[in-house]
Amino acid sequence: MTLKSLLLAVGLILAGGAVLAEGELSTLRPTAPIDQEAEAEPIPDVINSDMRQVRNYPDQPPLIPHKIDNYQIDLDANKCLTCHSRTAVEMSQAPMISVTHFMNREGQTLATVSPRRYFCTQCHVVQHDVKPLVVNNFVDVDSVLDFVRGQQGGGE
């Protein structure tokens, strides 16, 4: 590292520290002195509608549309499978887990859920009705495609 780039790096760090000291930098951390614990806001209730939610992007794992408080998911048991396994869906009317969950890394189909897909909450999450912490201008792929189709159809 040259002396010039070292001085530049030190200058940027000091300038960043000045911004932090003045409180101009916006963070997700609640405003409280650094040596004190901030009071956390209560976590809002889980959306418990049992209605499937639209996926925002291809291959997004489906969201869990109900509460899963106290669901046991460990090496001994998986509460999700009491409703979502192949043998339970007729009685529960819950969607069956994807056939991909019965495949190993080599693509071979297994008789039971693959160990790498057994812990559902690694990918699937519940939703809370909350205000976003940051501005998000995300547009799902279907909306983009609808827009493009509208642009193409309007120019003909």
Show binding-site residues for heme c.
66, 80, 83-84, 101, 120, 123-124
> Which of 86, 82, 143 lies closest to 109, judged by CA?
86
How many other CB atoms sit within 10 Å of the CB of residue 4? 8
Phi, psi of 143 (to 5 degrees): -65, -40
CA distance 86 to 96: 6
Using alpha carbons only, what angle is made at residue 140 by residues 139 and 146, rounded to the nearest 5 degrees? 95
Instruction: Output the known binding site.
Output: 66, 80, 83-84, 101, 120, 123-124
Residue type at position 69: D
